[in-house]
Amino acid sequence: MMHPVNHHPDRRDVLQGGLLLGVAALLAGCSGGGQGRALPGAVWPDDARRTATLPGTKPTVIPSSTGGTPVARGAGALPPGVIPRAAWNSQGMVTGRLTANGQNGRMGAITRITIHHDALDSSSIRSQSDAAYRLNAIRNGQMTRKPEPFADIGYHYIIDPQGRIWEGRSIAYQGAHVRGQNENNLGIMLMGHFDQQRPTSSAIESLDAFVASQMARYGIPLSRVKTHQELASTECPGRNLQRYMAQSRARGGALARA
């Protein structure tokens, strides 16, 4: 017996749809990975290639034929308040995909910071589970990109709209966030499309405090805190976050006072 369909999407459905519709913005907004020429196409939620580890699901192991052997992330104490990698993904890095620049992909001394957005609408992200889902979707897209997949998610730290700070790629390794300029460069990304929306006050407060703490930790001067578009031809991190970063670094701004 046939019954009429009356499906009302829940927040996860909306989030998935936003990821699919927004993937083109991701490609345009933050496309300077440094481990290839272009970011990936759409990765559908039911795609068999998907490697996302969602709450309550078993992680998919990346086969060695993809370019290396997964290894555990590098050791190192997380900054206070950062949600550890294990809270959203239990898989390691495929070191065989790391670029050969610097010390075979090792970060070395951290001497600069670059700010990004993911160029995807973040209005549906509320809970930790929502943010973890987004992180896995980004990581999966970057690790299945053609022709050269990334070794891992490209950013070292990610800030969600609620101001939570997440560990991404281990700081033991160079990121994949500014093409040709990943050596010694700490990559920090805010979830959101900041050509279309404004970063939340919670995200901004976390960004200012966290960047200031990393400047102090590594002795990084304000002049070496940049946005992606200041280093490459890209719209990232979007005009609204770019405007805020200019204010924060200007005389009297939050980062200028750090």
Residue ranges of the domains in the chain? 11-41+95-249
68 pLDDT higher than 50: no
The answer, yes or no, to whether residue 75 has pLDDT greater than 90, is no
Q: Cα 21 to chain center, whole Å?
A: 18
Predicted confidence at residue 123, as pLDDT, reads: 94
- CATH number for 11-41+95-249 (one of 3.40.640.10, 3.40.50.2300, 3.40.50.1580, 3.40.80.10): it is 3.40.80.10
pLDDT at residue 27, rounded to an integer: 39
With tokens 């609408």, the residue in question is 121
Q: What pTM was computed for the model?
A: 0.75
Query: pLDDT tens digits for 27-67?
Result: 334 755 543 333 333 222 223 223 333 333 333 333 332 33
The answer to whether the beta carbons of residues 34 and 179 sit under 8 Å apart is yes
For residue 199, the Cα-to-chain-centroid distance in whole angstroms is: 15
Q: Between 77 and 183, where is the model more confident?
A: 183
Query: For the segment 156-215, what is each residue's pLDDT rounded down to a tens digit?
Result: 999 999 999 999 999 999 999 998 899 999 999 999 999 999 999 999 999 999 999 999
Q: DSSP states of 95-163 as a string? A: GGGS-SHHHHTB--S--EEEEEE--S--TT--SHHHHHHHHHHHHHHHHS-SSS--SS-S-SEEE-TT-
pLDDT tens for residues 88-117?
999 988 888 887 655 678 888 999 999 999
Interval 111-141: pLDDT, tens? 999 999 999 999 999 999 999 999 999 999 9
Reference 140, options 172, 165, 132; nearest CA is 132
How many Å separate Cα 164 from the centre of its chain?
13
